Chains A and B, each alone.
Chain A
Amino acid sequence: MKRTNVLKTYKLFINGQFPRSESGHYFQVKDPETKKILANLARASRKDLRDAVKAARGAFPSWSGKTAYNRGQILYRIAEMLEARRTEFAEAIIASTGAKRSQADDEVSVSIDRMIWYAGWADKFSQVFSSVNPVALPYFNFTMPEAMGVVGIVAADELSLLPLVSQLAPAIVSGNTSLVLASDSFPLPAILFAEVLATSDVPPGVINILTGPRKELLPHLAKHMDVNAVHYVGQNSETRKLLQTEGAANVKRIIASEKPNGDGWFSEKAQSPYLIEAFVEMKTTWHPVGT
């Protein structure tokens, strides 16, 4: 049967919806080998970034107020939906990054496993990082982690899906909301991932994904007064400097780390409860007790 090609329009993911960029601009994603055009992606502007932060801020009270158990369930649900669409993701990774099939399959599998791993931590990290502190007064003194607010995720550039999942999951599992700047070089699987999120019980605004040139978006992310933390993985010292200096205006927490070496992203070393701890605030309470 002869049919007309049905080409997909990829858009941004903001507040649980798929809007086009406010700017109306697009950019092309090409097959790295054949240079064939794979898709037109929305080129996010600073106003899209502003909208994403607004959505994330709006979603924060309800997401951080959910029970840890419930957040774990929702992260697990993301993994379930990813599992159901693993072939599609592998194809997208192969087409847009030029990866071999076995590596693409591995990337999807590890991404799913990593999401489940962090889902399991949802109702456990608080016990690990909390403490009861000895004080020489009649007080019960304890410290516990609380979500910070809005976290900007600058996804590492070298792979398309796995770094995004590895950076996103530890930030949101504690109750933070997020906006993600997709990989600059391979943004296609990231925006495909948004379709998984949209069908995974993730409340609107908890995760927002933007595609577009990073150098246009980063300064506005760094400057935004309503972003509480940024996670950047990469070696660009200019980017680090930008985040640190501009982020100082609202004392943003900037976590800038090297990309894991070798098959780092695939190894278990790329997942750690300390990445959850990196995006929480410690609250200490003095509670009077009887003598």
Chain B
Amino acid sequence: METLLKMTVDQVGIEERAARITTRSIKTSAKREGIKLAISMIDLTTLEGKDSRGKVEALCRKAIRPDLNNPEIPSVAAVCVYPNMVALARQALSGTSVKVASVATGFPAGLIPLSLKVEETKRAVASGADEIDMVIDRGAFLSGEFQKVTDEIGSIKEACGSTHLKVILETGELETYDNIRKASLLAMNAGADFIKTSTGKVSINSTLPITLVMLEAIRDYFRLTGKRIGMKSAGGIRTSKLALHYLALLKESLGDDWLDPSLFRFGASALTNDLLMQFATQISGRYQSADYFTND
């Protein structure tokens, strides 16, 4: 682990490689399969102060059957909400394969005391969350208090029990690729089941190079420990083309094992409709209109 933590990131190399992925052309049957896979990996997300019960219920219905006109389209992986909506989402999704994910630990800033973070996590789990998305304390990380960050993740993991824990690094606030790599490794070592790029609440969200840095950290951690850690890219992924580029990057960094909703997720809301529209275009040969897809 010490050796891994000492390794730094080749910024130019990472950005070059990520840029090269975007020149791949993914067409016809590969595109169709890619779109279906991407939909099955989505954490359909609503994290706004104005979220209502009605909106969450509608989102859950969409999560189960994203396109009512097309039974070929799979359910999404999970619905991601604030803790106060977990019970409602649990009820709306009962009997389906769609998981309930809840943000916790004072999302999005993560600046509440640890005891409250643990309490919030326990309540979300008790309400029926299958997955917890926690945020790390970026202030502590940037001031070099790595032990504090690690201990917090450990405490939350303990509060989660068997519930899956996703650790949000908020890469947009970590400044450098080296920090992102370091935070990824710390989180995995402290018990994360997934590492996740961002909250979606800051200006820089998930990008291909950032995701690549994290995927390589996951690969290195896997080689060291044999543990498969999941990756969630969240925020700013709005088009099918970009989503397919993420899948290409994933396959070429971690291989087929990771091409599965249990190990890779997209945190998104707008992306779903674009994937559905692209799929409909593939099938019908007609470019689609947003008028014919649900409006969220």
Closest chain A residue to B288 by CB distance?
Answer: A225
Query: Shortest Cβ distance from B134 into chain A, in angstroms?
Result: 37
Question: Using a Cβ cutoff of 8 Å, how many contacts connect chains A and B?
Answer: 27
Within 8 Å CB of A224, what residues of B? 286-287, 289
Q: Are B288 and A226 in contact (CB under 8 A)?
A: yes
Whether a CB of chain A sits under 8 angstroms from the CB of B256 is no
Within 8 Å CB of A249, what residues of B? 284, 286
Whether a CB of chain A sits under 8 angstroms from the CB of B290 is yes
Within 8 Å CB of A100, what residues of B? none
Best-surrounded residue of A57, A220, A225, A250 (most CB of chain B within 10 A): A225
Whether a CB of chain A sits under 8 angstroms from the CB of B285 is yes
Whether a CB of chain B sits under 8 angstroms from the CB of A124 is no
Could you tell me which residues of chain A, from 200 to 232, have a CB within 8 Å of some CB in chain B?
Answer: 220, 223-226
Within 8 Å CB of B289, what residues of A? 57, 224-226, 250
Query: Shortest Cβ distance from A146 into chain B, in angstroms?
Result: 15
Within 8 Å CB of A12, what residues of B? none
Could you tell me which residues of chain A, from 56 to 104, have a CB within 8 Å of some CB in chain B?
Answer: 57
| Interchain CB contact (< 8 A) of A50 among B285, B287, B290, B292 | B287
Within 8 Å CB of B286, what residues of A? 223-225, 249
Since A220-B287, A225-B286 are in contact, a sample of 9 more A-B pairs with Cβ atoms closer than 8 Å, ordered by chain A residue number, is: A223-B285, A223-B286, A224-B286, A225-B292, A226-B287, A249-B284, A250-B289, A250-B291, A250-B292
Q: Which 5 A-B pairs have the closest CB atoms?
A: A226-B289, A225-B289, A223-B286, A224-B287, A225-B288
Alpha-carbon distance between A220 and B285 when the two chains are bound, in angstroms = 9
Alpha-carbon distance between A220 and B287 when the two chains are bound, in angstroms = 8
Query: Shortest Cβ distance from A175 into chain B, in angstroms?
Result: 17
Whether a CB of chain B sits under 8 angstroms from the CB of A179 is no
Q: What is the interface of chain B mostly: helix, strand, loop, or mixed?
A: loop
Within 8 Å CB of B292, what residues of A? 225, 250
Could you tell me which residues of chain B, from 242 to 296, have a CB within 8 Å of some CB in chain A?
Answer: 284-292
Within 8 Å CB of A220, what residues of B? 287
A-B contact list, 24 entries, CB within 8 Å? A50-B287, A53-B287, A57-B289, A57-B290, A220-B287, A223-B285, A223-B286, A223-B287, A224-B286, A224-B287, A224-B289, A225-B286, A225-B287, A225-B291, A225-B292, A226-B288, A226-B289, A226-B290, A226-B291, A249-B284, A249-B286, A250-B289, A250-B291, A250-B292
Closest chain B residue to A46 by CB distance?
Answer: B287
Alpha-carbon distance between A50 and B277 when the two chains are bound, in angstroms = 13
Best-surrounded residue of B290, B291, B292 (most CB of chain A within 10 A): B291
Alpha-carbon distance between A57 and B277 when the two chains are bound, in angstroms = 15
Could you tell me which residues of chain B, from 113 to 162, have a CB within 8 Å of some CB in chain A?
Answer: none
Closest chain B residue to A49 by CB distance?
Answer: B287
Best-surrounded residue of B285, B286, B290 (most CB of chain A within 10 A): B286
Could you tell me which residues of chain A, from 34 to 58, have a CB within 8 Å of some CB in chain B?
Answer: 50, 53, 57
Query: Shortest Cβ distance from B277 into chain A, in angstroms?
Result: 9
Alpha-carbon distance between A82 and B284 when the two chains are bound, in angstroms = 41
Within 8 Å CB of B284, what residues of A? 249
Within 8 Å CB of B290, what residues of A? 57, 226
Alpha-carbon distance between A249 and B289 when the two chains are bound, in angstroms = 11
Closest chain B residue to A250 by CB distance?
Answer: B289
Alpha-carbon distance between A57 and B152 when the two chains are bound, in angstroms = 48
Alpha-carbon distance between A249 and B290 when the two chains are bound, in angstroms = 14
Alpha-carbon distance between A225 and B290 when the two chains are bound, in angstroms = 9
Best-surrounded residue of B284, B287, B291 (most CB of chain A within 10 A): B287
Alpha-carbon distance between A249 and B285 when the two chains are bound, in angstroms = 12
Query: Shortest Cβ distance from B208 into chain A, in angstroms?
Result: 21
Alpha-carbon distance between A249 and B286 when the two chains are bound, in angstroms = 9
Within 8 Å CB of A250, what residues of B? 289, 291-292
